[in-house]
Structure 1
Amino acid sequence: MKSRIILLLCCTPFLMATTCEDEGNNKDCDGAAVAGLNISIHPGNTDAPISADGITVVITDETFSETLTHNETSLVFSGAYERPGNYIITVTKENYQTYISPIIAVGKLGCHVTTEHIDVTLLPE
């Protein structure tokens, strides 16, 4: 009887580790990093396309700050990879008004953050 209890106690951590589910989600926990923010930049008050050259997108969350990079084929800037938080987005470009967002909450669901997709319209000065 004692040996069965000891065996059960020794195996419990292994059983718990193999039966844990992803906090009730069916999302697979993989090694991929998920962006917390995807920010699309659009020109305002014009039909002319806007160039990514000179656009700076900075996100801040209290003392954390990150300057985002963009996809070469589009004006989508991504960042806050696997970092939940409450972000303020600042977008600047010469000859355009500076855009400052309200607070954007990025949460976490299971293994990854939930991506917030934000559209920003830059208005000429």
Structure 2
Amino acid sequence: MKKLFVILLTVAFFGCNDDDSTDDPIFCTEDLRPGLEVTVTDGINGDPITEGVNVVVVDGQYTETLIHIEGTGTFVGAYERVGTYIITATKEGYNDSTTAEPTIVEEDACHVITEKVSVVLQKK
């Protein structure tokens, strides 16, 4: 009986170590987050423009056309995708606009960190 007690005590002692570091657990959600939120504005009046606007992002060989969210002046994309993006906005009657510097999308423990970018289009 004493042997059984010693075995159980030993198992309990070693089973209760703190190598399971749950002091700061991370709880991630399953929602998708855009890596990029792009707002396109008119260079003269500063108003957001979306009608007929095309926003394309490129990261190396990867290319994506961003989606306009109805009711907003925002185009989103690069969902859960880290990268270094060049952003180009086009619209008929305006000069194309490409970002001068790449936009870097990084991630935290769960999701990408959304980068908000503004692009200005100038009328021809």
Question: What does 1:1-125 correspond to in 2, within 5 Å?
Answer: 4=11, 8=15, 16=20, 19=22, 21-22=25-26, 28-46=27-45, 51-101=49-99, 102-125=101-124
Shift of 1:50: 5.8
Identity of aligned residues (%): 33
Matches of 1:118 and 1:90, distance apart in 2: 11
Please report how far the alpha carbon of residue 4 of structure 1 lies from its aligned counterpart in structure 2 after TM superposition: 3.3
Letter in 1 for 2:25: E
What count of residue pairs does the alignment treat as equivalent? 113
CA distance in structure 2 between the partners assigned to 1:104 and 1:42 by the alignment: 18
Q: TM-score, structure 1 length as denominator? A: 0.76
Alpha-carbon offset, residue 46 of structure 1: 3.5
| Letter of the structure 1 residue corresponding to residue 113 of structure 2 | T
Give the superposition deviation at 1:109: 1.2
> For 1:19-47, what per-residue CA distance to the aligned partner results, in whole angstroms no more than 9, with x for missing partners?
3733xxxxx40111111110011111137
Deviations 1:89-114 (A, max 9, x none): 01110110111112100010110111
Task: Give the CA RMSD over aligned residues.
Answer: 2.7
Per the TM alignment, residue 51 of structure 1 is displaced from its structure 2 partner at its CA by 4.6
TM-score, scaled to structure 2: 0.77
Cα displacement (A) at 1:52? 2.1
- The question of whether the paired residues in 1 share the 8 Å contact of 2:68 and 2:76 is answered with yes
Q: Tell me the secondary structure at the aligned position of residue 80 of structure 1.
A: strand
Question: Which one has the largest radius of gyration?
Answer: 2
Q: CA deviation at 1:70?
A: 0.7
User: For 1:4 and 1:74, how far apart are their aligned partners in 2?
Assistant: 60
| Residue 120 (structure 1) shift | 1.1
